Amino acid sequence: MESKISKRSLRDAKRRADHQEAAKSAPEAPRPPANAPVVEFRGVHLAYPGGTVGLDGATFAVERGEFVFLVGQTGSGKSSVMRLLTKEFDATSGTVRVAGRDLGAIDRAKVPFYRRNIGVVFQDFKLLPNRTVYDNVAYALLVTGHSRKEIRRRVPDILRLTGLATKLHSYPDQLSGGEQQRVSIARAFVNHPPLLLADEPTGNLDPETSIGIMQLLYRINRTGSTVLVATHDHAMVDRMRRRVIELEEGLIIRDEATGLYVRDENTREFAARMRGEISDRPEI
């Protein structure tokens, strides 16, 4: 049985749904080609107020269904990429596209609608502290105008996928760090976005819990969502054996598929390999 969703939440959701209906009446933008990259940066520069350079001519593309890591030290440009993709900032110059759509051409009033079509996972979770696990995930559907029937169908499914089926009535402060991050991922994925962004998703977690989070992101990637993860955890990245884009002082200094790119392993095989590689590492 789902947790009770407040009348205030329903009112908020109705207002947002009304705004969505108004937006639907506007002329639709041309549909992007089916083969358009999910993410495309072309000569992107980002300068923050005060002159700090976030990105310096970044050019790369992420294709549909890829799992890509952004790595680099603090201040290298990882967060700048994420902020541009969530349209927290606009590029100083160059072009940023998501699914063929130029983010620079999106009107500020329509940014919330754009953001609801991507999933974002944060290091500090950003959960609603006074709402249960069920309600935190359901809220992502409420604000996009889904019916209560659809919410009742989708939320239990996503909680099972993320290993939270027994925690639906729990509040965030009753959960471990790993469980809170799973709620954050469930909320980001419940709308099945084509693009999932994860900014340091394992930054505050122990190694074993981090493997569980990466296993979950891998499972989501296998459903068809493109996943882009910003992290400084080089050891985890090496074990994942996925494409790596490395930044340094705003420049892309490496873009490659690392190690043995395993494409056909299931999530259990993936987790077993990750744990096996940990146990095989020599003690220091």
Cα 1 to Cα 239: distance, rounded to the nearest angstrom? 39
Q: What does residue 24 show for φ and ψ, rounded to 5 degrees? A: -65, -25
Beta-sheet strands, E only, within 118-225: 119-121, 195-199
User: What is the DSSP code (8-state) at residue 11?
Assistant: H
Distance from chain centroid for Cα 236: 17
Query: Which CATH number is 233's domain given?
Result: 3.40.50.300
Q: Low-confidence residues of the chain, pLDDT below 70?
A: 1-34, 258-264, 277-284
| E strand or H helix at 22 | helix 7-24
Whether 174 maps to a domain, the answer reads no
CA dihedral 7, 13, 17, 18 (to 10 degrees): 60
User: Cβ neighbours of residue 200 under 8 Å, at least 6 residues apart?
Assistant: 122, 123, 230, 231, 232
Whether 51 maps to a domain, the answer reads yes
Structural contact between residues 133 and 70, judged by C-beta atoms closer than 8 angstroms: no
Whether 158 maps to a domain, the answer reads no
Cα 195 to Cα 168: distance, rounded to the nearest angstrom? 25
Determine the pLDDT at residue 4: 53
Distance from chain centroid for Cα 124: 13
- The first and second tokens of residue 191, run together, are 């709308």
Structural contact between residues 247 and 71, judged by C-beta atoms closer than 8 angstroms: yes
Determine the pLDDT at residue 25: 38
Determine the pLDDT at residue 239: 81
Whether 225 maps to a domain, the answer reads yes
Whether 206 maps to a domain, the answer reads yes
pTM for the model: 0.81
- The domain of 67 spans 37-110+193-280
Grouping H, G, I as helix, E, B as strand and the rest as coil, residue 177 is helix
- For residue 194, what are the CA distances in angstroms to 51, 73, 116? 34, 28, 11
The pLDDT tens digits for 82-136 are: 999 999 999 999 999 999 999 999 999 999 989 988 999 988 888 999 999 999 9
User: Cβ neighbours of residue 281 under 8 Å, at least 6 residues apart?
Assistant: none
Sheet containing 53-62: give its strands across: 53-62, 39-47, 93-98, 101-102
Grouping H, G, I as helix, E, B as strand and the rest as coil, residue 214 is helix
- The first and second tokens of residue 243, run together, are 């494409």
Structural contact between residues 166 and 174, judged by C-beta atoms closer than 8 angstroms: no
Grouping H, G, I as helix, E, B as strand and the rest as coil, residue 45 is strand
Whether 173 maps to a domain, the answer reads no
Determine the pLDDT at residue 30: 38
| Domain count within the chain | 1
